[in-house]
Structure 1
């Protein structure tokens, strides 16, 4: 379910969809239908599965640290710093980028902060908590 989730741009809509599919899968595993009116909290307790939002956020945070610390000459760190050309922009809000939510927690200089694993690990809990406290 979370294969490749490190590369997703996390948004509120995506987190909501993950929670919905997790509830559907939990009900299926337990053989329970919506008509049985069993609360989602009870389903999570019975299946003993961690929240998908928490798992995806943790994987993305770890992947970000891995990419930034890479020194083998691949293009990963360069892509993170890339800015699109200026020119005519489309109407409306700009699309959510992969680094937007990481910058919100770690600040604009998160790439330099990520070189120190201690700083990155201390911010991980805050980052994961922001996505588990939604909704």
Structure 2
């Protein structure tokens, strides 16, 4: 898409970084990941008893377990990077500020 915006082909051997710099198009995967982290931190810092943090920690268990690995949740990659107690850590950082 970005190459067609500039009228550039693969034969021109222009790097993707240069093409993105010229078109000023942001990479959507990075933007979505940043927004997901911001939303998770915002929800985790809430202390007013709303249902947001409860939904993040909730695990659906009805009937028999389906075959195969469980589907990934939106908080799985956050736990992989920040650790299992990432919600407590974000609440502590909110108190310290």
How would you bin the TM-score normalised by the shorter chain?
Answer: 0.7 to 0.9
Please name the residue that 1:76 is paired with: 52
Please name the residue that 1:63 is paired with: 39
> Gaps spanning 5+ residues in structure 1: where?
1-23, 119-135
Return the structure number with greater relative CO, CA threshold 8 A, min gap 6.
1
Residue in structure 2 matching 1:104, options 70, 80, 93? 80
Aligned-pair distance for 1:44?
1.5
RMSD (Å), alpha carbons: 2.4
**C-alpha distance in 2 between matches for 1:96 and 1:115:** 24
CA radius of gyration, larger in: 2
Distance 1:73 1:28, change over 3 A: farther
For this pair of structures, how many residues does the alignment match?
Answer: 94
Give the TM-score normalised by structure 2.
0.75
Please name the residue that 2:93 is paired with: 117
**C-alpha distance in 2 between matches for 1:71 and 1:29:** 47
Give the TM-score normalised by structure 1.
0.57
> Gaps spanning 5+ residues in structure 2: where?
none
Aligned-pair distance for 1:75?
1.0
